[in-house]
Structure 1
Amino acid sequence: MDSLITAAARALAAGDPLSALKRVALRDDAPALALRGIAMAQLGDFVRARALLKSAARAFGSREAVARARCVVAQSEIALVSRDLGWPQAALAAARATLEAHGDPVNAAHARILQVRRLLLVGRLDEAERALDGLEPALLPPATRAACALVTAGIMVRRLRTRAAAASFEEARLAARAAGIPALSAEIDNAARILHAPAARLISLGTERLLQLRDVEAQFASGALVVDACRHVVRRGGALVSLASRPVLFSLARALAEAWPNDERRSLLIARAFRGKHADESHRARLRVEIGRLRAELKGLAEVRATKHGFALTPSGKEGVVVIAPPQEDRFSAVLALLADGEAWSSSALSIALGASPRTVQRALEHLERSGKVQFFGKGRARRWLTAPVAGFPTVLLLPGPLPGG
């Protein structure tokens, strides 16, 4: 490899794409095309970067399997950053296998981290943790070590293990400082702010207050009966009952929890659960049926007893009842939670991440756009949606994936 290519590669590794371009901007050989593509990606021109990397992959000969695999890894990272979740993951897995087989552990580790980042993005935390098994960060260069620590912190945040997340963020900061890449340090500092941002509201005894993630974690571990309006579950300690697919039962559970230790009137329960303005005998009969179903679901966690005017919730433990709710409640909160990362998403990528139909996501985006909460650029398949992060918005507790703390 000639000296200009070596110098350009070193500049890119140090996070200096402009210096790299000065050395290879006028060259069209395969290594120069690949480096130019990576430089354009670092500068944010993903369209040009994709084209250059595709050209580089074609230009490398069939005997240059490692170079071609590196181009695939770079294309995968661009797809991830631009939220192209439909990009073929089999190609990245094959590239990683090639790099491992040909003795390039650093780029193979980078490919693995990209796989983990995508799994984390779509809420597949168990798979993400398994994919990290066997990776030895101590053997990696500082920039890759920082990326590994950052993705580990992301998993710990989603698991609501805030101490472990804080330790991983600090590890990432130290590695980024050793790498000497200011943009990487800024990315880590920005990601770590989530530990200190409002993540939920605590509703108890008629009062409300904002909670940080560590406070939510503490509530889950407190032994109190927690009605979690972020994930639509009722939990106490390690016991958990999901009511995500039973909205009427969850509405009743939340109404009773917010009224605790008092009872809630039948008319108000009917209004919240069935959205009935006037309670008639059919509503009362249905309420009795649904309360019976709720009793069965909460057996062992709490009792639902009838009172003169309505129903009351009685927890099995002594720690009381609390409701954990998003700071801002909106029926499209899950879409906003994903968009709050500041990246530009396609509607198809949102559909994949949320596990919802494309039409459902499109209707949500159109509603949010009319209300001024999101905006778009581009047309057709190139259209992308984004929003500025909203202060205090629960970007973790509403994201897809396993239940936090479970």
Structure 2
Amino acid sequence: MAPAAGDPRPTRHQIVIIGGGNAGISLAARLRRYGANGIAVVEPSSRHLYQPLFSHIAGGTAEVSEATRPQASVIPRGVTWVRDAVVDIDAAQNTIHLASGDQIRYDQLVVCPGIQKDWDAVPGLADAMASKYGASNYEIELAPKAWDLLRDLRRGTVVFNLPPGPLTCGGAAQKPMYLACDYWAQQGVLKDIRVILVVPTPTVFTEAVANKELDRKIAEYGIEVRYDSEITAVDAVARTVTVQDLGAESSLGGSETVAYDVLHAVPPQSAPDWLKATDLPKPGDPSGFVEVDPETLRSIRYPAVWSLGDAAATLNSKSGAALRQQTQVVAKNLMAVLKGKSVSAKYNNYSACPFTVSRSTVVFSEFDDQYRPKPSLPWKGIMRERRATFVLERRILPRVYWNLILKGRA
């Protein structure tokens, strides 16, 4: 709608990118390398975070400082940083509305604000995170607390979980568990610690090669797995979780109450609430992710809108590895549109997840949307447990991220 009399006219940019995380910054940098101008990134946070290291922080193999940089330091040269939060998108009028009350008009819009952690979706879960005994590698503030709790434990019960539904890098939920188990084994106390993993699926991972490797590590560490199950409630005072069986027998009300000494939790996740309320998600989709063509990453109903990363309703498993290819596709297709050409770049649903299964080894799984193996690196046996892939994931990839990916060069 038009601004009211006396209101300032909306600012206009040729390309507006919502979100200054991996997706937004790497895309802006790549577009600049391709010659695009008039780019604005809308991002309220003053910090830029490298999320793959959160698991290492929670597992005691990285420091918080390694995963954070000032947001201003990663904004590409020639790109305008709008430090504000989006509260609405009027795709019919090519306008976004900001928390400050300002508006921005756009020629092309890219929606990549990331994913929302729904801590309140499980009764008592937020209270547990605020207590002395709960932590998570899915929040930068809770990750160092996780390592403090896991490092100091010498006996008792630890519960880890993976929630049902879409989430960012689902494999990350398991990484601190393996890092902690290896640490406890080195300290000689693993035999005195009961480790329980709750997963909503019949296997710990869907891709077969990685799943076999993870099953082997689970047996090695003596981890108890509750398959086809989810945590439906937490009592932070009593330190118990309710584990509900999601299988066929769940119709009989099968549930288990488990007492814990430490709870490492991953919350249910969805699109940001403000995004759910726009016209961009598929009608009737409660997750609220932006409806796009899964190959071109262009909105089905609004040709000037694109989406990638965790906020896009794509077919792949959400991950940074998937995002790297998506960024290239969106950049090429968006530039084609600006030049009056047809879009031709297509995303192939690739994703990957490096599982840190010990403090020196990784299972590096690469797969498509059907969880079929899709290795891209020329290493024989890369999807098996390897020390070399630990070096890649822990040492090399962070440097690639800060120095190449965020600059649109990888």
TM range (shorter): under 0.3
Considering fraction of residues, name the structure with more strand: 2
TM-score, L = length of structure 2 = 0.26
TM-score, L = length of structure 1 = 0.27
Using CA pairs under 8 Å that are at least 6 residues apart, name the structure with larger relative contact order, 1 or 2.
2
Considering fraction of residues, name the structure with more helix: 1
